[in-house]
Amino acid sequence: DAGSPEILRNVPDAMTPNRNGHVPYALFPKLRGQQLDYLQTRLGQYQTGEAMDSSADRIMNGVGHRLDAESIAALSQYLSSQ
């Protein structure tokens, strides 16, 4: 199950919704409920530092570089199901 704590253990807290389903920091982009393909692409861009459209992207690049391919797949699946 993509929403299990085990799968999300390496995902930074800033990239996961709180118990109310909202990302706790307004500066971060809203990823919850986006389409799976979009999430995989965008999280991959954050991982490689390719996303540079806004100051929020620069922050997300700093968070995203800690994700590996397995974490991107799991997080994308989880967020797309929300």
Distance CA(39)–CA(29), nearest Å, equals 11
Q: In the predicted model, what is the mean pLDDT of the chain?
A: 77
Taking a C-beta distance cutoff of 8 angstroms, is the pair 3, 78 a contact? yes
- pTM equals 0.65
Position 16 pLDDT exceeds 60: no
Report in angstroms the alpha-carbon separations of 75 from 35, 67.
Answer: 12, 10
Position 4 pLDDT exceeds 60: no
Cβ partners under 8 Å of residue 25, min gap 6: 14
